[in-house]
Amino acid sequence: MNKYQFLILLGCFLTAKISTAQKIKGFIYEAQNNKSPIPGANVYWKNTTIGTFSDENGNFEIANPNKFPSTLVVSFIGYQTDSIIVNTPSQSKLNIKLSKDVKLEEFELTEREASTKIDLVNPLLVETLNKNEFTKAACCNISESFETNASVDVNFTDAVSGTKKIQMLGLDGIYTQIQAENLPMIRGLSSAFGLTFVPGTWAESIQIKKGAGSVVNGYESITGQINVELLKPDEAEQLFVNVYGNEKGRAELNIHGAQKLNEKWSTMTLAHVSNQSLQWDKNEDTFLDMPLKTQFNFFNRWKYRGKKHMLQFGVKGVYEDMEAGQIPTTETNRLYKIGVLTKQFEVFTKNGFLFPEKPYKSIGIINSFKYHNHESKYGDKEFNAEQMSGYLNAIYQTRIVNENHTIKVGSSLVYDHYDKNYNDSLFGREEIVPGIFTEYALTTDKSALVLGVRGDYHNLYGAFFTPRAHYKYNFTPLSALRFSVGRGFRTANPYIENASVMASSRRVISEKLAPEIAWNYGTSVTHKFEIGGKEMSINLDYYFTDFQNQVVVDLENPDEVSFYNLQGKSYSHSFQAEVGAQITQQLEIKAAYKLYDIKTDYQSGLKEKPLVPRNRALVNIGYITNFDKWKFDLTGQWFDVSRLPSTATNMVENRISTASKSFVTLNGQITRAFKRIEFYAGVENITNFKQDAPIIAANDPFGSDFDASLIWGSVNGRVAYGGLRFKIQ
C-alpha cells in the first residue's frame, strides 16, 4: 500500500466515526468588549465526558446529554465560569457571555493570561506565543524571541557574524515555512539574516505549528510552520517606544504609533534603528567578538474594515550594513574582513470579502512583491546576489451540508528571479510555480479531521503533488490526541542558506542539485488539568522526518564543503516532553526535555548530523508580584554533547575534538512596571560559558586550516543589558 492509499483509507476510516447525534448550538462572547467572540472556550455537560470548544468565531456545537434538564458549563482562563441549566433539547442558539475575572483577593489578581498556549481545538499542534512571552527576555529581533521557548532552537551560525539561526525538530530553519501574517517572510536570500530584520516589538503573537502544515499556505513546509502576527493598526497602542542597550555597545530604538482615522480606516507606522559601534575582542584572537552593525527598518501599514470587505496594505524597507573580522594589530599584515550589505523592499495587499448573511463563507486574496539585494565578502570570497519575488494566494471558504463540514479551495502563484554571483561564477535562475489546492475539514464534538491536497507545476522541475492529513480526538474537554502526515517540497539555495561556511578556507564544491522532498509523520498528546485550583499542562510530541531527497551539506573533509544530492537515507526523529505549572497566582514554571536522533548518508557513510546536541532541556521560571509591578524571569538551558566534523587533516595545533562539551546557559531579567512606562534589566549567559577557541587557526585566516563555522556554544560570554518601554494606549 502506498502513502496516497494510506491517506485515503485514513480519511474513510475517521469519517465513518462521525456522530450524527442531535446537537445544541451556541455563541460565546465577551461581556465587556462589544460582544467580541471568545475562541477556545471549554464547553461541557456537568458530570459527563461530553464536551467541546468554541471555534475561532466563538461558535460551538455540543451533543445532547443523556437526560434533561442538564447543566452546561462554559469556562475560559481569565473569565468567570458560567453554568446554564438546559431543560429541553431546544434548537434555538444559546448566547453566552463571559465576564472578565477581575475580582481581587488580598489585592492579588485571580488570573493572568498565559504567555504561551497550546490550542486544544485546532487539529494541528499549534503553540501560540504572545507579548508576555516576548518581554521575558531582551527581545531585539524575531530570532531572539524563541530564547524562552522549547519548540524552537536558537543557535549562532558562526564565530564572527553574530547571526543567530533557528531549528525545528532538530533540522535547520530552512525546512520550516516562516511567514508574516500568512505571507512569505523568510525564503531565498533572506534565509541567512532575515529573522534579524523583524524587531521583536513589532510582533503581536507567533504561532508555531509542528509537522506537516496546511496546504493552503503552500508546499514548502517540511518540519513545521511559524507565522508571525504583526501589530494591527486598529488594535495597537497610539504610541510605543522601546529603548535597549547592552554593555558591549549595542543600542536599539523602536518606535511605533497607530491611529484610527474613522470607524473603517486605521493606519500604523513602525520604525527601528540599531547600532553596534564598539569593538570587542575578549578572547584575544584578533577577531571581533561582535560585528559592527547598523540597521534601519521601516514599516507602514493601513487597514480598512467594512461589513463586506476588509483590506490591508503596506510597505516595508530594510537597510543593514554589517562588518566583522580581524582587528588591526602590530603583527597583522593582511586583515581578514567580513562585510554584508543588505537592502530589502516589500509591498503587500490583503483583501477579504465577507458575506454577513452567510458567515461561513469568505474569499481571501493576498499578495506581495519583494526585492532583496545582498552583497557579502568573506576574506577573498564574494557572494553577491539579487532576488525579486512575487506571491499570490486566493482562497475561497464555505461549508458543505452543515457547519460540521467546511472546505477551502484556491490557487497560488510563486515567482522567484535570482541573479547570483559567487566568485565570478553565475548561479542565477527563474522559478515560476502556479498551483491549486483544496482542504476539507470535518468537525464533531470530540474530533476533527483535515484532509488537504495541492498540485503545483514548477517550470524547472515539473509537476509535484502535496497531500497532508491531520486528525485530532478529545478524550475530555481538556485532552487532545493528534496525528499528522504530509509531504513537503522546496528548492535549495545552498550558498546563502549555509553562509556560515563562507567564514572558512573551505573550497566550495557543488553538483547540479535537485529539489528537496520529505515526508513528515507526527503525533502528540496534550492534557490540561488542575491541582488545588492551579492550572497545569503536559504535552508530549514525536515527529519523524524522512527525506526522499535532500541537499546534503558535507563538512566531513576539513578542506572543503560539498553540496550534493542525497544518496541513501536521511532522517530525523524528534521527541519533546513539556510540563507547565502555575505553582501560585504569581509563580509559573515551564520545563521541557528534547531528544534528537538525526542521521544522514554522507559520502563517508551514515553519520549523525553535526553540531546538533542529542539531548536538550529547558526550565523557565516566571514570578509576577501584585498588580504586575515587578516581573522576574529566569531561563536555564542544558545542551548535551554534539558530533563535530573531522579536522584530522589539519595541522596538529589546529585539530579539535570530534565531540563538543556539555554545557548550561542561564538568562535572567527583572522588570519594574509603572502606569505607562516600565524599566527592565537583565543578563544573558549568566554562567559566562564560552566555546573554547571558536575560530580554528585564527592566527592564519588565509591559511588552509582557518574555520569559524564550527560553532556549538556561545561565543560572546556574559552580556548585561537594560532598557525601557513606554506606551500610550
Task: Break the chain into its structural domains and give their ranges.
Answer: 3-102, 116-728
Cβ atoms of residues 728 and 362 within 8 Å: no
Lowest mean pLDDT among 32-41, 248-257, 374-383: 32-41
How much of the chain, in percent, has pLDDT values that exceed 70?
92
Lowest mean pLDDT among 406-415, 495-504, 519-528, 664-673: 495-504
Pairing of strands 239-246, 250-260: antiparallel
Q: Indicate the pLDDT class of residue 106, thresholds 50, 70 and 90.
A: very low
pLDDT value of residue 19: 36
| 250/240 Cα distance (integer angstroms) | 20
Q: Rg of the chain over CA atoms, in angstroms? A: 26
pLDDT value of residue 71: 85
Exposure on the CB side of residue 367, measured as CA atoms within 13 A: 11
| 178/183 Cα distance (integer angstroms) | 9
| 197/189 Cα distance (integer angstroms) | 12
| 240/135 Cα distance (integer angstroms) | 14
Given a cut of 90, is residue 53 above it in pLDDT?
A: no
Lowest mean pLDDT among 53-57, 253-257, 323-327: 53-57
Rounded to whole angstroms, what are the CA distances from 120 to 14, 59, 128, 700?
19, 15, 12, 56
Contacts (Cβ under 8 Å, ≥6 apart) of 333:
none
Decide if 3-102 and 116-728 have a common fold.
no
pLDDT digit string, tens, across residues 88-104: 776 567 888 887 654 33
pLDDT value of residue 91: 55
Residues recorded for the chain: 729
pLDDT value of residue 59: 85
Q: The domain 116-728: what is its CATH number? A: 2.40.170.20
pLDDT digit string, tens, across residues 197-236: 999 999 999 999 999 999 999 999 999 999 999 999 998 9
Residue type present at position 461: Y
Return the number of other C-beta atoms located less than 10 Å from residue 709's C-beta: 24
Helices (H), 256-353: none
Q: Dmax of the chain from CA atoms?
A: 90
Q: Indicate the pLDDT class of residue 274, thresholds 50, 70 and 90.
A: very high
Q: Indicate the pLDDT class of residue 605, thresholds 50, 70 and 90.
A: very high
Rounded to whole angstroms, what are the CA distances from 143 to 22, 188, 352, 511?
48, 17, 30, 31
3-class DSSP state of 2? coil
pLDDT value of residue 1: 47
Superfamily in which the 3-102 domain is placed by CATH: Carboxypeptidase-like, regulatory domain (2.60.40.1120)
| 434/455 Cα distance (integer angstroms) | 9
Pairing of strands 70-75, 605-608: unpaired
Cβ atoms of residues 300 and 290 within 8 Å: no
| 187/176 Cα distance (integer angstroms) | 10
pLDDT digit string, tens, across residues 611-625: 999 999 999 999 999
Given a cut of 80, is residue 250 above it in pLDDT?
A: yes
